[in-house]
Amino acid sequence: MKIQALIVIKKIVYILLIFFVSCNQVYTKEVKETNSVISFLVYTLARPVIPPPPNNMSNIEFEKKSDSIHQLISSEKWLNQPFVLWVDNTMRPVNIKLSKNPFESNYNLLFEKLKSLNQPKNFHIHDIEKSSHITIVNRINDSLRETNWKSIDMKLSFSRLAFSPDYKNAILIININRGSLNGYSELLILEKFEDIWRIKEKKLMEIS
């Protein structure tokens, strides 16, 4: 009888161990991919404002100016100028009404998963990969209206991030602000291709 009890106990311990290891692997994978997605978005979006062309220009002058602006914003000097980025490291539940999936039907499960994530979740700022010219700050107690935007180039904040089971697709809402009344939010579908995340589709949600 004691032997049978020991066998049962060993089986239970073994099952619990497998369960714990499995959950830990899923958690580690989600944390890794979350950091990867946030790092990609920081790299893609943390860029200086493109200077507008002067008013009252002829079409020919406008084309020449547009070419020079394109060359400017493609240059290493422009892209690598000092940039201060305010990153909110709390991913929050979606607070925009999402009644219908605006994308293809094959994203329905991902879309519904995003809506079901109703608890905030933090990520660690120091785990985000960034270029050396970008300084990331996290002003926990500041609001958009109270912030001195002369010292901040951009603020990025994020909704909860939902992944497909194979971690090949993801969905979230990103909020981008360059001032207290200068911002917008987009619903993004991301795809992982050859181990690199990219934006596959996006939908403008709000603008201020």
CB burial readout 10-31, b (16+ within 10 A) else e: eeeeeeeeeeeeeeeeeeeeee
116-161 pLDDT, tens digit per residue, is 999 999 999 999 998 889 999 887 666 666 677 888 999 999 999 9
Whether the predicted pLDDT of 15 surpasses 80: no
CA 150 to chain centre: 24
Question: What pLDDT is stored for residue 2 in this prediction?
Answer: 53
77-100 pLDDT, tens digit per residue, is 777 889 999 999 999 999 877 777
Is 108 strand, coil or helix? helix
Q: 57: pLDDT confidence band, cut at 50, 70 and 90?
A: low
CA distance 191 to 86: 25
Whether the predicted pLDDT of 68 surpasses 80: no
CA atoms 89, 95, 101, 106: torsion sign: positive
CB burial readout 61-91, b (16+ within 10 A) else e: eeeeeeeeeeeeeeeeeeeeeebebbbbbeb
